[in-house]
Amino acid sequence: MSGRAAPPAGSWRLLLTEPLDGATNMAVDEALWRGRLSGEGLATVRLFGWAPPALSIGYGQRRDARLNLAACRRWGLGLVRRPTGGSAIYHDGPARELTYSVAAGAEDFAGAGDLLLAYRWVALALLEGFRRLGVPAEMRTVGPSPGRQPAFCFARTGSYEIEVAGKKLVGSAQRRRAGGFLQHGSVMLGVDAERVRVLFPGDGDPLAGMTTLEQVLGRRPGFAETAAAIAEGFTRAHGIELRPGGLTRQEQELIDRLVREKYGTAEWNERGRLVTDLSRVS
């Protein structure tokens, strides 16, 4: 802990960033999470995009033949391993996809200390946001029993995830420590169906169980419109005030280090492990 005063209880930050490369995006979210765990950073809802488009794989996911990494390289896509779990997601830039993250402490809301209750809390906010867009979304209360994890996040729906007419609209993943959690989620505005099928060749048709806002609404809402609706959803669902803010100097310094020594390295992105001693940031 530094000598800096802790943020006031109940403070939430809304962080809207320009589209970033995969390594920087994941470094930002880990920095937010670590700041909240230490008590120095604010609880934060972040809404962002990716440039260039990228494939993110889960914290413990194997890089096997169910992922077409040759196509990923051929198309010049980014590739990064997330700090959160779950399966891979193709982030096709802000024209087709919005990613959210929530970095919160165990005391930031009732249920934040429990994995499924935290999923539910986030899902209720997303539902409220989608209703503002006119999306007839529903929350699946109980997902199927865990089986073989698919390579593509949208190929399986778990508990407290968002669906429309039985098809998955949002893919989410979480990582927890005793003091709080980080949750990521991908909201599909549209989809490049051909590209997704090439990137995920190993689980049948990867699009069979998913849908997009474009398919549901008959139009594709823009990134800014969707971000505004989701932010309002958190306020209306939970009565929290999201105050727009930026990154602190300490957060930016940690982000730079995480990019350089973790998310920008082959050893992390290929194996999920670091040989060097980065206990404070790994």
Residue 161 CB: number of other CB atoms within 10 A?
A: 23
Q: Does residue 6 surpass a pLDDT of 60?
A: no
Q: For position 278, what pLDDT does the model report?
A: 47
User: Between 140 and 30, where is the model more confident?
Assistant: 30
pLDDT value of residue 30 = 97
Q: How confident is the model at residue 143 (pLDDT cuts 50, 70, 90)?
A: low
Residue of 238, 230, 236 whose CA lies nearest to 133: 230
Q: Say yes or no: domain 12-269 is CATH 3.30.930.10.
A: yes
Give the pLDDT band of residue 63 (cuts 50, 70, 90): confident
pLDDT confidence of residue 178: 87
Active site residues per annotation: 153
Other CB atoms within 10 Å distance of the CB of residue 149? 16
Rounded Cα gap, residues 1 and 11, in angstroms: 19
Q: pTM of the prediction?
A: 0.91
pLDDT tens per residue, range 24-49 = 999 999 999 999 999 999 999 999 99
Residue range 234-249, pLDDT digits in tens? 999 999 999 999 999 9
- Average pLDDT for residues 63-82, to the nearest whole number? 93
Would you list the domain boundaries of the chain?
12-269
pLDDT digits (tens, 9 = 90+) for 248-259: 999 999 999 999
pLDDT digits (tens, 9 = 90+) for 176-219: 998 999 999 999 999 999 999 999 997 688 899 899 999 999 99
What per-residue confidence (pLDDT) applies to 29? 98
| 73 Cβ contact list (under 8 Å, min separation 6) | none
Report, as an integer, the average pLDDT of 106-132: 96
DSSP letter, residue 152: B
Taking residues 46-61, what's their average pLDDT? Answer: 95
Question: How much is the pLDDT for 4?
Answer: 44
Return the pLDDT at 72: 94
- 8 Å CB contact between 169 and 210: yes
